[in-house]
């Protein structure tokens, strides 16, 4: 019996040694500081973006979603194809991250060696079949019209240290002004996606000392009054320029079958506050037309 127990102990000890002596594959590392958007034509507007995540695939297998900047460990060494997809905060919400469907991905081919670090600088473009409507306020005759307002948006080009890129649109309200609402009038917006699984986004840069409401206008009968469907109310940034991506179907899905859509930007001042200033720039509406 003692001999049998001794044999069992020896077998267990031998198995344990093999378990711990086994050499694990040491990873290589991919270092990514940021992902840049490259514009191919003036029709795509500004190269402003807010890409916050890298979705990293190795040989078409997702290995993780990483906050930028990041250093990604990759245990699959050797000749590999690495694809990096850009990720955004949908509607500016930190917990709602997704790959931006209207940007391309970046491909990197390398013979990865364990314990080595490879620094890459990914760039992406807009996909070829994206419809992009833009208003960058570089032209005095910008594309937004006033609606039932005490004042209107104006185009400003100074002071340059306040603006984002060149000109910007400014909504300014004093204590006697209750509302400013600006609307688009674009026939192509009538093709907005109304299914939550079909993407469409409003992109914009903004800087404000007061909340800004942005939403969709929908109409079931051509020529009648639009209904407002708010997408978001952006909080004040207090002099800091921010970038956001707003998901159009979050509002348009309530109006499946509507023949007319547009976009509105609205500031209301029910408490008679003075000195309200809301700047917007590089507005883009992106979807499959």
pLDDT at 1: 43
In this structure, the answer to whether residues 113 and 144 fall within a common structural domain is no
Q: Is residue 266 part of a domain?
A: yes
Q: What is the pLDDT of residues 225-255, one digit of tens each?
A: 899 999 999 999 999 999 999 999 999 999 9
Sign of the alpha-carbon dihedral angle for 105, 111, 115, 116: negative
pLDDT at 222: 72
pLDDT above 60: residue 98? yes
In this structure, the answer to whether residues 87 and 192 fall within a common structural domain is no
Q: Residue 61 maps to which CATH number?
A: 2.60.40
Q: Is residue 168 part of a domain?
A: yes
Q: DSSP secondary-structure letter at 6?
A: H
Q: Is residue 15 part of a domain?
A: no
Q: What is the pLDDT of residues 172-231, one digit of tens each?
A: 999 999 999 999 999 999 999 999 999 999 999 999 999 999 999 999 887 778 999 999
- Residue with the bigger pLDDT between 28 and 257: it is 28
pLDDT at 22: 52
Q: Is residue 8 part of a domain?
A: no
Q: Is residue 96 part of a domain?
A: yes
In this structure, the answer to whether residues 194 and 115 fall within a common structural domain is no
Where among 107, 124, 141 does a domain terminate? 124
In this structure, the answer to whether residues 142 and 206 fall within a common structural domain is yes
Q: What is the pLDDT of residues 50-74, one digit of tens each?
A: 999 999 999 999 999 999 999 999 9
Exposed / middle / buried, residue 207 (Cβ in 10 Å: 0-12, 13-18, 19+): buried
Going by pLDDT thresholds of 50, 70 and 90, the confidence category of residue 287 is: very high
pLDDT at 23: 64
In this structure, the answer to whether residues 39 and 73 fall within a common structural domain is yes
pLDDT at 224: 77
pLDDT at 138: 95
Long-range contacts of the stretch 94-102 (C-beta < 8 A, 24+): 97/52, 97/53, 97/65, 99/55, 100/51, 100/201, 100/245, 101/127, 101/199, 102/126, 102/127, 102/130, 102/199, 102/201, 102/286
pLDDT at 11: 44
Residues 163, 264, 88, 43, Cα dihedral to 10°: -70
pLDDT above 70: residue 21? no
Where among 124, 150, 182 does a domain terminate? 124
User: Is 156 strand, coil or helix?
Assistant: strand
In this structure, the answer to whether residues 152 and 249 fall within a common structural domain is yes
Where among 62, 90, 124 does a domain terminate? 124
In this structure, the answer to whether residues 55 and 185 fall within a common structural domain is no
pLDDT at 274: 97
pLDDT above 70: residue 2? no
**Helix residue ranges, H only, the chain:** 2-21, 249-252
Q: Taking a C-beta distance cutoff of 8 angstroms, is the pair 100, 55 a contact?
A: no
In this structure, the answer to whether residues 89 and 157 fall within a common structural domain is no
In this structure, the answer to whether residues 141 and 110 fall within a common structural domain is no
Domain tally for the chain? 2
Q: Is residue 11 part of a domain?
A: no
pLDDT at 220: 85
Q: Is residue 4 part of a domain?
A: no
pLDDT at 12: 45
* Phi, psi (rounded to 5 degrees) for 253: -65, -15
pLDDT at 221: 80
Q: Extract the tokens encoding 8.
A: 């069992």
In this structure, the answer to whether residues 53 and 190 fall within a common structural domain is no
pTM of the model: 0.89
Exposed / middle / buried, residue 63 (Cβ in 10 Å: 0-12, 13-18, 19+): middle
Q: Residue 195 maps to which CATH number?
A: 2.60.120.260
Residue 268: give the domain boundaries: 131-287
Enumerate residues 6+ apart whose C-beta is below 8 A from 276: 171, 172, 173, 174, 209, 210, 267, 269
- Residue with the bigger pLDDT between 18 and 59: it is 59
pLDDT at 10: 41
In this structure, the answer to whether residues 249 and 175 fall within a common structural domain is yes
In this structure, the answer to whether residues 139 and 266 fall within a common structural domain is yes
Tell me the mean pLDDT in the region 126-136: 97
In the chain, the percentage of residues whose pLDDT exceeds 70 is 92
* Phi, psi (rounded to 5 degrees) for 245: -125, 115
């Amino acid at each position: 019996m003692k001999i049998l127990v001794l044999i069992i102990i020896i077998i267990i000890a031998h198995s344990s040694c093999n378990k711990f002596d086994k050499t694990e594959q040491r990873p290589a590392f991919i270092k990514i500081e940021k992902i840049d958007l490259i514009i191919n034509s003036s029709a795509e507007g500004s190269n402003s973006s807010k890409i916050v995540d890298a979705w990293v695939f190795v040989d078409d297998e997702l290995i993780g979603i990483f906050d930028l900047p990041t250093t990604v460990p990759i245990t699959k060494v050797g000749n590999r194809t690495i694809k990096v997809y850009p990720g955004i905060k949908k509607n500016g919400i930190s917990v709602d991250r997704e790959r931006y469907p209207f940007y391309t991905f970046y491909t990197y081919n390398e013979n990865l060696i364990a314990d080595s670090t490879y620094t890459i600088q990914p760039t992406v473009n807009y996909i070829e079949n994206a419809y992009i409507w833009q208003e960058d306020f570089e032209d005095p005759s910008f594309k937004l019209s006033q609606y039932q307002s005490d004042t209107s948006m104006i185009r400003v080009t100074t002071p340059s240290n306040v603006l984002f890129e060149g000109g910007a649109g400014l909504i300014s309200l004093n204590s006697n002004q209750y509302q400013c609402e600006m609307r688009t009038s674009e026939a192509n917006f009538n093709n907005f996606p109304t299914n939550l699984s079909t993407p469409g986004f409003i992109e914009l840069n903004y800087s404000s000392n007061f909340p800004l409401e942005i939403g969709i206008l929908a109409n079931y009968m051509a020529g009648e009054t639009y209904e407002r469907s708010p997408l978001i109310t952006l909080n004040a940034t207090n002099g800091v320029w921010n970038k956001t991506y707003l998901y159009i179907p979050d509002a348009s899905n309530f109006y499946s079958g509507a023949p007319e859509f547009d976009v509105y930007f609205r500031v209301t001042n029910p408490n008679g506050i003075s000195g309200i200033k809301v700047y917007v720039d590089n507005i883009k509406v992106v979807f499959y037309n």
